[in-house]
């Protein structure tokens, strides 16, 4: 996102923007080299060593299926670095290049584009959040039902189109065309799968998303909140993520784009959609702490930016 914001001339050279760039450089350098990095098995001295251990499948951290999985902090670091490099703002160019190269190798291992797009297949199935992923009935599950072939949930994965796009842009900027093309192909293959396999439409023509990017639709995060023993995301109940933007801004399927335009065209539609997709007890909790309204306003702002660009395609 930084590179996209930086393109606007009124931000260039401003003192506040320089401070942000300095802060982001510190985040990248210190995270990669100096700050201890948590792992389920042990602490690592820094993110670099943890990432290399996952990349090389270090036997010292073997165990559960997800011990070699990359997590949010990993992909965020790849994305921040990619954006800093694109605007020539990375203070340690050698370090940034190293991060991008390792990020590329990580994604090459996680992504498969043969018959259809696949990402980290089976890596998370032993994690507690995914123990009911194989159960696709509407009734609340009683017993674990893992799915060894499941892929990441549609909610966590919504970050990835942004990251793939950032990696494509940075390697294009660096004139490493083969690497850039790899991420471009991955993004296109993902959207092919998304439009053919992950989206269905309700009776009002609004999009519902299956819960996992392999196309399965089981339960996610059952009993995740200890105070709510019947909490969990059943089939299609992660559909709210459709309004987060990343499944929308690069999509090429006109039906999905136009249904999202219709959904986002009025506050009432979006708010109603939001209300319907969260379990009632959780929505009440969000409202109690004022989080519901804040989230709604954030989604509204984010998607307004995209809506103006996409509206003409639905005439």
Q: Is residue 10 part of a domain?
A: no
Domain count, the chain: 1
Residue at token pair 């109690």: 288
Q: Is residue 3 part of a domain?
A: no
Q: What is the mean pLDDT of residues 61-72?
A: 96
- Lowest mean pLDDT, pick from 219-223, 230-234, 307-311: 307-311
pLDDT tier at 266, thresholds 50, 70, 90 = low
- Which tokens in the block code for residue 17? 């923007």
| Beta strands 199-201 and 118-119, pairing class | unpaired
Counting DSSP H helices and E strands in the chain, the numbers are 13, 4
Percent with pLDDT over 90 in the chain:
60
Q: Is residue 233 part of a domain?
A: yes
- Lowest mean pLDDT, pick from 18-22, 85-89, 140-144: 18-22
81 neighbors 28 (Cβ within 8 angstroms): yes
Q: Is residue 98 part of a domain?
A: no
Q: Is residue 248 part of a domain?
A: yes
pLDDT at 115: 83
What is the per-residue pLDDT across 134-156, written as a single tens digit (0 to 9) for each?
999 999 999 999 999 999 999 99
Q: Is residue 163 part of a domain?
A: no
Domain of 225 in residue numbering reads as: 127-155+198-315
291 has pLDDT over 70: no
pLDDT at 11: 45
pLDDT at 32: 98
What is the per-residue pLDDT across 50-59, written as a single tens digit (0 to 9) for each?
999 999 999 9
Question: Which pTM does this prediction carry?
Answer: 0.84
Q: What is the mean pLDDT of residues 83-88?
A: 94
> pLDDT averaged over the chain?
84
H-type alpha helices, 151-224: 154-157, 160-173, 177-193
């Amino acid at each position: 996102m930084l590179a996209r914001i930086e393109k606007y001339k009124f931000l260039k050279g401003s003192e506040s923007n320089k401070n942000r760039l300095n802060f982001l450089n510190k985040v990248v350098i210190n995270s990669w080299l100096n700050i201890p990095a948590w792992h389920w098995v042990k602490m690592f001295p820094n993110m670099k060593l943890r990432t290399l251990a996952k990349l090389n499948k270090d036997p010292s951290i073997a165990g559960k299926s997800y011990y070699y999985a990359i997590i949010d902090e990993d992909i965020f670091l790849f994305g921040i670095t990619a954006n800093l490099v694109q605007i020539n703002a990375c203070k340690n160019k050698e370090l940034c290049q190293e991060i991008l190269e390792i990020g590329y190798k990580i994604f090459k291992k996680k992504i498969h584009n043969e018959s259809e797009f696949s990402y980290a297949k089976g890596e998370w199935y032993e994690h507690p959040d995914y123990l009911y992923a194989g159960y696709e009935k509407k009734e609340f599950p009683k017993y674990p039902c893992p799915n060894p072939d499941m892929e990441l949930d549609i909610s966590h994965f919504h970050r990835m189109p942004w990251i793939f796009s950032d990696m494509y842009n940075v390697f294009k900027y660096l004139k490493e065309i083969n690497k850039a093309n790899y991420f471009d192909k991955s993004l296109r293959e993902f959207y092919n799968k998304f439009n053919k396999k992950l989206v269905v439409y309700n009776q009002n023509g609004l999009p519902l998303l299956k819960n996992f990017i392999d196309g399965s639709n089981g339960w996610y995060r059952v009993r995740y909140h200890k105070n709510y023993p019947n909490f969990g995301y059943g089939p299609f109940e992660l559909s709210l993520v459709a309004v987060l933007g990343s499944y929308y801004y690069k999509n090429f399927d006109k039906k999905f784009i136009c249904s999202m335009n219709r959904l986002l065209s009025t506050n009432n539609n979006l708010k109603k959609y939001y209300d319907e997709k969260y379990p009632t007890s959780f929505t009440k909790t969000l409202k109690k702490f004022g989080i519901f309204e804040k989230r709604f306003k954030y989604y509204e702002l984010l998607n307004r930016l995209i809506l103006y660009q996409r509206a003409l395609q639905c005439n």
